Chains A and B, each alone.
Chain A
Amino acid sequence: GDSVTQMEGPVTLSEEAFLTINCTYTATGYPSLFWYVQYPGEGLQLLLKATKADDKGSNKGFEATYRKETTSFHLEKGSVQVSDSAVYFCALSDRESGNTPLVFGKGTRLSVIA
């Protein structure tokens, strides 16, 4: 079945450092890809998404590019802030099967220190 693998955390960075969180996927169809963020004590919020190969999703300085050839959707940010401390989830949705539930990675906890 479909699956998502993302790098294990926790990740600890200093403010203004460069961030990469790796995410790869396995899917039988042609999925949509998502990054969700969960701040402490809150629900998941959509951070960005991409629906086809070579699409780049971006939001709040975060970017991720849908790479079909490497089945990857790595999350990047050029300069992290303390407020970016959260848990980040990579996910896919197999659109060819209709509006199906998201398949999530296990999450990567990011801590940014001043």
Chain B
Amino acid sequence: DAGVIQSPRHEVTEMGQEVTLRCKPISGHDYLFWYRQTMMRGLELLIYFNNNVPIDDSGMPEDRFSAKMPNASFSTLKIQPSEPRDSAVYFCASSPGTSGEDTQYFGPGTRLTVL
């Protein structure tokens, strides 16, 4: 299996622009998680999905952030408009969801820089 795939790996944009991050989970996994990592705040959960349905989005910083999962093999995290404080590494992770198997598998991350 290819593991969790994220694109792009690096994104540099200017303040006010729209940014879209993409994630392909491991095939057959029922759960998908979006995390953000910064030096100041460490790893934070933004949102997670179960069978393509958002379960908890309380970690989404504000209305500028939105996430979708239109099917089992694809999810997007969108920031519009972007701000310099959004600069971080964004990770996607997926998990099988079967009873007792709660290990999460992480993608390589997208490093976002907002100028």
Contact = CB atoms under 8 A, between A and B. Distances in A.
A and B physically associate: yes
Interface of A: 32, 34, 36, 42-46, 49, 51, 89, 93, 95, 99-102, 104, 106-107
Contacts of B30: 99
Nearest to A104: B43
Nearest to B44: A104
Contact of B45 (A32, A36, A101): A101
A43 B50 contact: no
- Interface majority SS (helix, strand, loop, mixed), chain B: strand
A106 B41 CA distance: 8
B91 A44 contact: yes
B109 interface: yes
B71 interface: no
Interface of B: 4, 30-31, 33, 42-43, 45, 48, 50, 56, 91, 93, 95, 97, 100, 102-109
Contact of B103 (A42, A49, A100): A49
Given A101-B33, A104-B43, A51 B108 contact: no
Q: Looking at A43, A45, A104, which has the most chain B CB atoms within 10 Å of its CB?
A: A43
Given A99-B95, A107-B42, 14 more contacts: A42-B108, A43-B108, A44-B93, A44-B106, A46-B104, A46-B105, A89-B43, A95-B102, A99-B31, A101-B45, A101-B56, A102-B45, A102-B104, A104-B43
Contacts of A100: 102
Contacts of A46: 103-105
Contacts of B56: 101
Given A43-B91, A43-B109, A51 B45 contact: no
B16 to A, nearest CB: 28
B102 A99 contact: yes
Contacts of A36: 106
A49 B103 CA distance: 8
Contacts of B102: 32, 93, 95, 99-100
Contacts of A99: 30-31, 50, 95, 97, 102
A34 B97 CA distance: 16
Contacts of B107: 43
